[in-house]
A and B are shown apart, each in its own frame.
Chain A
Amino acid sequence: MTRPKPMISSNDSQQLDTAVPQQPVSRPLWTVQRVLLGIALAILLFYFVVYVVYAFNLIRFPFDYDQGEGFELVDVMMFSQFQWPYADIEQYPFYGSIYPPLYHILLVPFAWLFGPEYWYGRLFSFASTLVAAGAIAYAVYRQAGRTKNASFIGLLSGLAFLSSNIIYHIGPLFRQHIPMFMFEVLAIVVLANADEISDKGKRRQQLLLGFGLLLAAGYTKQLAAFTAIAALGFLFIRQPRRAFFWGLGFAIVGTGIFLLINISTDGNWWTQTVTANVKDFIPAQAIGLFRLWFKLHGFLIVPAVLYMLYEVYFARISIYSLWFIIATILNGMSAGTWGAGDSYYGTSIAATCILSGIFAARVLNRDWTFNNNIYNRILIDPFRRFAPLFASIGMVVIPLLYIGYGRAVMHLPTTGAGFRQIADIFDVQPNALNGFYDSAGRLTGAYADIGHFTTQADIDAGYQIVDFVNATDKLVLSEEAAFSLITERDVITNPVVLYILDQVGAYDSSALVAMLEQQEFGLVILRAQFYPDEVNRAITTYYEPFEEIRMNGFDYILKRPKS
C-alpha cells in the first residue's frame, strides 16, 4: 500500500462537482491509519483461520450437523441413480424434496466416485464461500477505482463476508443455500458493468453469462428470485429495452426448465418446491433475526446505507445498491417464515460487504464526486470547507469500522491449541456447545444452533445409534438420513417436507400412519419431531422410548414397538 496522493480523483462526467479539496496527508495520520488497518486485517484473518478449522472439523464429521443435511445427500444419491427426488410422498418411502436440483446435480460425480458421504458436499459449500468472498473483493476493487487502497479494502471486504457469524455458521454445511450465494454474487458482479460495454458482442456474452448465473442461483435455491428481481430492476433503470428482451428470454428459459421438471415428476415438483414453500410468517422470528443481523453487521451496514444514499442522490444507482435494499427487505421478510433462519440474510450480507467496501475505499482514496443538484447545494456545499477535516477523520474511522465489526462478530473456540491462549488473553468465556464462544448467541426465533466444533464423543454417539439400527432386521424410521445411509437401508420420509405439506393440506399421512400402527418399523429415531401431528401421535401411541443418545448437542430419542 502506498501513501494516498494529495490529489482528488474524479472519474465521472463533467456534470460532477468535486467535494473534497486537495490536501496532503500528514505522516503521523498516515501511520496511525496503517497500524489500524493492520489490526483490522489481523482480526479478520484470525476469523478466517477459525473458519477453515471449523470447516475441516465438519468435513470429517460423518453425520448430520445441521438438520436436513442428510436429505440433501439423499437427493444427490437419487440424481446419481437418474431418479427425481420429487416423488409421491404419500407412497412408500414417503420421500420428497423441496429444493431445486442444481447443487445436488453438481455433486453427482462425487456420489459416483465416493458413494453417500457428507464431506464432498461440505467441501463444495466451503469452496463456494471462498469463491463468493473472492468475487466480493474483486467487486470492491473494480468499483473503487482499482487503486491499492481499493485492493486492500477489497481484501477486508471478502474477509468480512467470511467473518460474519451467519456465513460462518452455514458456510461448510451440506446445504444448497451456500452455492446459491456464490451464483448470486457472481451474477451480480458480472451484470454490474455489462451495460457499459460498448462492444455489442462482448456485452451480449457478459449478459448471457450473468443471466446464466442467475438461472443457476435460482435452480440452486428459490430464494435467489429476489436477486433476479434486483438485477432486472437495475437493467430496467439503465436501459428498459434491453432489460425487457433479456428478461423475456430469462423468463422463457426459466419457465421452460420448470415445466420440463414438473412434467417429468407428474406435478410433484410444483407441490414440493412451490406449494410447500408457502409457510406461516412468524413476526417475532422476523424481528429477532433482523435485530441479530443489525447487531452483528451494524458497523458495515451504516456505511453501506450511506453509500446507497450517496448513489441515489448524488451519483448513478448501481446494481449493488439495488441488490442490497431488495435482498435486505425481501430476504429479511422471508427469514420470518417457518423453517427459515439467519441464513436468509446471507445475500444481504454479501451486498453489505460490497457497498461498505466501496464506501471505505473511496474515503481512503478521497474519491468523492457529487452531482450538482439541489441536495448538493443544501447538504454538501455548507460543509465543503470542512472536507479536509472529514477526509482526515475518515482515514481513521474506516479501519475502526472494520475493527468494530471484528468485535461485533466475535466467534472462536475457547479450547484447543492456540485458541485457548487467545481466549484467555481476551477473557472470552464459552457461551455455546463444546467450549465455543459466539457473539450471535442462540439464534432468535429460529431452531438453528450451530457454529461449534464437533468432538470425537459426537462421532462415537453417532455410531452408537448406527449399532442400534444394525440390531434390527425391520425397517427403520429415522428423522435423519445419515443412519439409514450408513447402514445401506431405505431412507424413509423427509419429515420437514411431510410437515409443511401437511400444514398446507397437501399431504395425507394415512399410509405412513398405517405402517406405524402395524409396527412395521423396528426402530424409530427422533431428533426434533418435525413430523406432522398425526404421525407424531402414531409414534407415541405404538412405540416406546428405550434409549436417549446425545450427539452434537441434540438428544436423539430411540423408540421400539410397544409390546
Chain B
Amino acid sequence: MFKNEFTFTKRQLGLLLLIIGIVGFAAVYGIDLVDVGREGGIGPVQRIALGALALMTVLGLTLIPLGDDPA
C-alpha cells in the first residue's frame, strides 16, 4: 500500500468500506451496551451515524465485484 505506484482498486475500496462500516456500526451500537447507565437509549446523532455506516457497508459490498478497476 505504501508503494509509490499503489492506488486503490474498486475491490480494495469496497473491502475497506465494508470493514469500516461493520466495525463502525458495532462500535456506535455498542456505546449503549458498554455504557448501560446512559439515559435516552440510541440518540438522534447515533441513529444518523448508524444509517451512514449501514449505507457504507452496502456501498462496500457493491464495489467488491468491480475487481481491479482503479477506484
Q: Using Cβ atoms and an 8 Å threshold, which residues of chain B touch A241?
A: 1-4, 6
User: If the complex has contacts A237-B71, A312-B59, A333-B45, are A374 and B6 also in contact, measured as CB distance less than 8 A?
Assistant: no
| Nearest CB in chain B: distance from A27 CB, A | 39
Complex: how many Å from CA A281 to CA B65?
Answer: 38
Report the interface size class on chain A.
20 to 34
B59 in contact with A15 (CB, 8 Å) = no
Residues 28-50 of B at the A interface (beta carbon under 8 Å): 43-45, 48
User: If the complex has contacts A237-B8, A237-B71, are A244 and B66 also in contact, measured as CB distance less than 8 A?
Assistant: no
Q: Using Cβ atoms and an 8 Å threshold, which residues of chain A touch B13?
A: 237, 317
Write out, one digit per residue, whether chain B residues 2-39 have a CB within 8 A of any chain A CB (1) or not (0).
Answer: 11101110000100000000000000000000000000
Q: Using Cβ atoms and an 8 Å threshold, which residues of chain B touch A281?
A: 43-45
B8 in contact with A371 (CB, 8 Å) = no
B2 in contact with A374 (CB, 8 Å) = no
Residues 320-335 of A at the B interface (beta carbon under 8 Å): 329, 333
Q: Using Cβ atoms and an 8 Å threshold, which residues of chain B touch A283?
A: 44
User: If the complex has contacts A241-B3, A281-B44, are A317 and B71 also in contact, measured as CB distance less than 8 A?
Assistant: yes
A238 contacts the other chain (CB 8 A): yes
B45 in contact with A312 (CB, 8 Å) = no
Q: Using Cβ atoms and an 8 Å threshold, which residues of chain A touch B1?
A: 240-241
A240 in contact with B66 (CB, 8 Å) = no
| Nearest neighbor of B2 in chain A, beta-carbon distance | A241
Residues 284-336 of A at the B interface (beta carbon under 8 Å): 286, 312-313, 316-317, 329, 333
A255 contacts the other chain (CB 8 A): no
| Nearest CB in chain A: distance from B47 CB, A | 9
Which one of B4, B43, B45 has the highest number of Cβ atoms from chain A below 10 Å of its Cβ? B45
Q: Using Cβ atoms and an 8 Å threshold, which residues of chain B touch A239?
A: 4, 6-7
Complex: how many Å from CA A329 to CA B55?
Answer: 12
A371 in contact with B69 (CB, 8 Å) = yes
Complex: how many Å from CA A123 to CA B71?
Answer: 41
Complex: how many Å from CA A61 to CA B1?
Answer: 56
Complex: how many Å from CA A239 to CA B70?
Answer: 11
A373 contacts the other chain (CB 8 A): yes
| Nearest CB in chain A: distance from B4 CB, A | 6
B8 in contact with A240 (CB, 8 Å) = yes
Complex: how many Å from CA A240 to CA B4?
Answer: 8
Complex: how many Å from CA A283 to CA B3?
Answer: 44
Residues 235-279 of A at the B interface (beta carbon under 8 Å): 236-241, 244
| Nearest CB in chain A: distance from B13 CB, A | 6
| Nearest neighbor of B13 in chain A, beta-carbon distance | A237
Q: Using Cβ atoms and an 8 Å threshold, which residues of chain A touch B44?
A: 281, 283, 286
Write out, one digit per residue, whether chain A residues 42-83 have a CB within 8 A of any chain B CB (1) or not (0).
Answer: 000000000000000000000000000000000000000000
Q: Using Cβ atoms and an 8 Å threshold, which residues of chain B touch A244?
A: 2
| Nearest CB in chain B: distance from A417 CB, A | 47
A374 in contact with B66 (CB, 8 Å) = yes
Q: Using Cβ atoms and an 8 Å threshold, which residues of chain B touch A329?
A: 52
B48 in contact with A373 (CB, 8 Å) = no
| Nearest CB in chain B: distance from A326 CB, A | 10
B70 in contact with A312 (CB, 8 Å) = no
A373 in contact with B59 (CB, 8 Å) = no
| Nearest CB in chain A: distance from B52 CB, A | 6
Complex: how many Å from CA A317 to CA B10?
Answer: 10
Q: Using Cβ atoms and an 8 Å threshold, which residues of chain A touch B43?
A: 281
B3 in contact with A373 (CB, 8 Å) = no
A238 in contact with B7 (CB, 8 Å) = yes
A374 in contact with B71 (CB, 8 Å) = no
Complex: how many Å from CA A316 to CA B52?
Answer: 22
| Nearest CB in chain A: distance from B48 CB, A | 6
B69 in contact with A15 (CB, 8 Å) = yes
Q: Using Cβ atoms and an 8 Å threshold, which residues of chain A touch B45?
A: 281, 333
Residues 48-65 of B at the A interface (beta carbon under 8 Å): 48, 52, 59, 62-63, 65
Complex: how many Å from CA A445 to CA B7?
Answer: 44
Q: Using Cβ atoms and an 8 Å threshold, which residues of chain B touch A333?
A: 45, 48
Q: Using Cβ atoms and an 8 Å threshold, which residues of chain A touch B2?
A: 240-241, 244
| Nearest CB in chain A: distance from B55 CB, A | 9
Complex: how many Å from CA A264 to CA B18?
Answer: 44
Complex: how many Å from CA A506 to CA B47?
Answer: 28
CB pairs A–B below 8 angstroms (12 shown)? A237-B8, A237-B71, A240-B2, A241-B6, A313-B62, A313-B63, A313-B66, A317-B13, A317-B71, A329-B52, A371-B66, A373-B67
Q: Which 7 A-B pairs have the closest CB atoms?
A: A283-B44, A241-B2, A237-B8, A374-B65, A240-B1, A237-B71, A371-B69
